[in-house]
Amino acid sequence: MSKKSQSVRKNDRHHYLIITTIVCLITIVILIALSFYSVKKVQQSENQLLALVETRNATNRAASDIIDTKISYHTGDSSHRQHLSELVPKLTKISHYLNILSTGGKIDIHGKPIAFSSVIVDEASKGYLVKIYIEISKLKDSIKEYSTQVATSDADSRYTLGRAIARARPSNKNLFESLDLLVASVANQKSLHTRLIDIYQILGGVIAILYLAAFLLIFMRKLKTVGFQEEKATLEMQEIMATVNEGLFLIDADMKISGQYSACLESLIGQQDIANRRLDDILKPIISQKNLVMTRDFIEQLFNDRAKEKLIQDLNPLDRIAVQIINENNLFDNRYLSY
């Protein structure tokens, strides 16, 4: 496979990884946004339920006052007119609550304003609210009619009160049934958004885990590839060092020889175990002090990033140098080495 083909494949992998990362991040951001939206909807539903409960309590108090009005009328209680005067404002307040439930707004509950959006989410909830409003309007009209007759001492006031009471019985039943259905509708919406929050969180967690698993898989494969390449390079280097007929070695900036050097290097310089030893220590017994100093300066320049390699090579003091070493027979051997 050509280097160009390998480069194209590498770029394709990087491009795929970048696209995958962007898609994953966008998906997670969308899920987080949807979660915040659902949390807001759950809070809205909770406020709607509080408003509906307050409306139901107000309706229950109004229903009780209608019964008290009848009792006080028959018993001749002096509080009859008081009950009557309080009843119409309570029914009006309920109508006001219904208008806010329909359009959205704020209702004071125990002195604390509760804000919420419209409880109408479908035709069914709209129907419940309209039915409640109609029943409250009927009751309010009957009570207003009776109040007018009482104020004018109309003889028909007793009949009108009886009609209002008769109308209140089925109205109360219809009112509470519709209110309960409306509460159930809002509670279902709250439950739906609560489940959606759980789903979004689970999806976000799954996507994050899958992406992390994919990233770790790619990372491990990359490590394996790099390890294989390093092992291959090491084996190739060892093979070269074992077969080459020259004294090859590597040194660092501290002039230390690495653990990898050619097999014939030790016999060429007449020394053993030269790994991790300084080059100047190895050369000291076999070259002059002048050449040793020049060698140190030369190698320092090799590691100087500002120096030009061609100029440095022309200053090489070890280009061809006579040395005297002890061979394997413990005899002095004159050699010319080139570094």
Q: Is residue 105 part of a domain?
A: yes
Q: Is residue 331 part of a domain?
A: yes
193 and 38 Cβ atoms separated by less than 8 Å: yes
The per-residue pLDDT for range 216-228, each reduced to its tens digit, is 887 788 888 877 8
Shared-domain flag, residues 59 and 198: yes
pLDDT given for residue 93 in this prediction: 86
Q: Is residue 111 part of a domain?
A: yes
Q: Is residue 75 part of a domain?
A: yes
Q: Is the per-residue pLDDT at 247 higher than 70?
A: yes
Shared-domain flag, residues 192 and 307: no
pLDDT given for residue 2 in this prediction: 44
Shared-domain flag, residues 180 and 118: yes
Give me the CATH number covering residue 157: 1.20.1330
Where among 202, 220, 238 does a domain terminate? Answer: 220
Q: Is the per-residue pLDDT at 8 higher than 50?
A: no
Shared-domain flag, residues 268 and 163: no
3-7, 179-183, 279-283: range with lowest mean pLDDT:
3-7
Chain-centre distance for alpha carbon 96: 43
28 and 155 Cβ atoms separated by less than 8 Å: no
Residue with tokens 């909807």: 41
| Residue 84: band (very low, low, confident or very high) from pLDDT cuts 50, 70, 90 | low
48-62, 159-173, 225-239: range with lowest mean pLDDT:
159-173
Where among 220, 236, 264 does a domain terminate? Answer: 220
Shared-domain flag, residues 210 and 286: no
Domain span including residue 140:
12-220
Shared-domain flag, residues 127 and 66: yes
Shared-domain flag, residues 196 and 307: no
The per-residue pLDDT for range 129-145, each reduced to its tens digit, is 888 888 778 777 777 76
Shared-domain flag, residues 201 and 332: no
Residue type, 123: E
Shared-domain flag, residues 281 and 216: no
Helix axes 80-103, 3-75, angle to 10 degrees: 170
The domain total for the chain is: 2
Q: Is residue 113 part of a domain?
A: yes
137 and 99 Cβ atoms separated by less than 8 Å: no
Residue type, 41: K
Residue type, 327: N
Q: Is residue 28 part of a domain?
A: yes
> What pTM was estimated for this model as a whole?
0.56
Q: Is 111 left (phi over 0), alpha (psi -120 to 50) or beta?
A: left
pLDDT given for residue 148 in this prediction: 63
Q: Is residue 242 part of a domain?
A: no
Q: Is residue 243 part of a domain?
A: no
Shared-domain flag, residues 128 and 60: yes
Measured in degrees and rounded to the nearest 5, phi and psi for residue 313 equal: -65, -35
The secondary structure of the chain in percent helix, strand, coil, rounded to multiples of 5, reads 70, 10, 20
pLDDT given for residue 164 in this prediction: 54
Higher pLDDT, 327 or 90: 90
Rounded Cα gap, residues 215 and 259, in angstroms: 36
pLDDT given for residue 215 in this prediction: 80
246 and 240 Cβ atoms separated by less than 8 Å: no
Where among 175, 205, 220 does a domain terminate? Answer: 220
Q: How far is CA 29 from CA 74, 201, 215, in A?
A: 68, 11, 19
Beta-carbon contacts of 23 under 8 Å, excluding residues fewer than 6 positions away, are none
pLDDT given for residue 3 in this prediction: 44
Shared-domain flag, residues 215 and 304: no
Rounded Cα gap, residues 38 and 42, in angstroms: 6
